Amino acid sequence: MKRLLAILLAVVLIFGLVACAAPSPTPAPPAPPPATGTDPTPEPTDGPPEPPPGSPRIVRLGHVSPTHSARHLATVAMAEYVMNALPGWYDIEVFSAGMLGTSLEMIQGLQTGAMEMTTQGAGMFGGFEAAVGAVEVPGLWPGERAQVRQLIQEAFIPYMADVMAPVGMKVFDYWFEEFVTLGTTVPIRELADFDGVRIRTMASPTQLAIAERLGFTALPMDAGEIYQGILTGVVDGTHNGHTMIFANMIHEVINYITNSNHVLAGVYTVVSLEWWESMSPMEHEVWFSAREVARAVFEEAILLEIGDALVAFAEHNVEVIDLDPAERALWMETLAPVADLYIDMNPALHQAIIDHIRAESARLFG
C-alpha cells in the first residue's frame, strides 16, 4: 500500500511541474492604427447652447399690417431665425393686423411689459420721443433708394438706438419702404388744391408740421381706421406710401395718388428696453443676425409689393399724378421750415441728429 501511494504522489508532482512550465497564452495582436485622416475619438460638434431654466420665454411681436404685407413677412422671418438659432429658448408669436390692439396700445405695451416688440410707422412713436421724426424731415434724405437704405443701416440706426431709452424703449431698426405719396378722393396737383382737404396723418409733430405748411387739415388716426374714414367722408385721403395704401386696400376708396415724394415712408421696429436688457450678449448677437435676415426679406417683399400696388391702382382706375419739377421745387421750398420746427422741439438732440445724417450722407455719397 505504501508503495502504491508513493507512485501516485510522484505522478502528481510530475504533472504539476509540466503545468507550471507550460508557456502562457499568446497575447492578442495590437489593434491596427486608424486609417489615415480619421480620428478614433472625434470631438463632438458644437450645437446651439442649452436653453436656460424657465425657457422658453414668450415673446410677442405685434403690428397693424395684414399678413400679406412686407412688414409681416419680415417680422415672421426674424422670429423664425431666432427660434431656429436658439431652439427651446423662445416661443415667439407674431400678431398681425392689430390683433394686440391699436398702434398706440402696442407701443404702450412695450412700456408695461405686455409685449416685447412692435413695428409701426415713425409718426406713432413721435408722441413718445419726437427725435424719431427725423425720417419725416423733408429734404434731409438722399433721393435714391439704395442710398437711403445704406444711410439708415450704417449710420442712422446705430446713432438712434438709445434715443428712446428714457421712455422704456429701444430703436431696433427702421425699414424704408418708399417715399410718401398722398392718396386722396380729390386731385392734388398744386398747393392750392389742399384748401379745405382733410388728410389722415399720424400724430407726430413732424407730420402735423408738414400738414400746416402744405395747407391741409391733418386728422390723426390709426392705420386700421383709414379705409372706413375715407369711405364715410371723415377724411379725404391719407399721407402714406404706395405700399401702405395697397396693403390696407385704400386704393378701393380713393381716386388719385399724388407722387409728392417729400419724406420717407417706412416703419420702426422698437423693442421693450427692459426685455432687451434682460438678455445676454449672445442673445443680442442672434437678434442682430435675425435683423439682417428680416431686412433682406423686407426689401425683396416691398419691391414686389410696390409693383403689385401699381397694378392694383390701374385696375381700380386710380389716377397717379406726378408733380412737374417746378411744382415739386415749390413744395420742397414750402416744406423747408419743417427741419427748423423739428430742431426746435429739442435743439441739442435734434440738431445733432440732423447734423449727423447730413455729415454721413456727404461722407457716403459726396
| Residue 231 half-sphere exposure toward CB, CA atoms < 13 A | 10
Give per-10-residue mean pLDDT for the chain (366 aa): 37 35 39 40 64 94 94 97 98 97 96 97 92 96 97 98 98 97 97 98 92 97 93 97 93 97 96 98 98 98 97 98 95 97 97 98 96
Q: What is the pLDDT of residue 341?
A: 95
Task: Residue 187: name the closest of 263, 265, 248, 254 by CA.
Answer: 254
Q: What is the pLDDT of residue 31?
A: 41
Domain ranges of the chain: 57-365
Q: What is the pLDDT of residue 203?
A: 87
Task: Residue 258: name the closest of 343, 173, 318 by CA.
Answer: 318
The vertex-72 CA angle with 230 and 107, nearest 5°, equals 75
Q: What is the pLDDT of residue 5?
A: 35
Number of residues assigned to the chain: 366
Q: What is the pLDDT of residue 43?
A: 47
Q: What is the pLDDT of residue 44?
A: 43
At residue 326, φ and ψ (nearest 5 deg) are -65, -40
Identify the CATH homologous superfamily for domain 57-365.
Bacterial extracellular solute-binding protein, family 7 (3.40.190.170)
Quick count: other Cβ atoms within 10 Å of Cβ 166?
A: 10
Question: Is the link from the previous residue into 56 a cis peptide, with omega within 30 of 0?
Answer: yes
Sheet containing strand 117-121, strands side by side: 90-95, 57-63, 117-121, 264-272, 169-179
In sign, the C-alpha dihedral spanning 136, 137, 141, 144 is positive
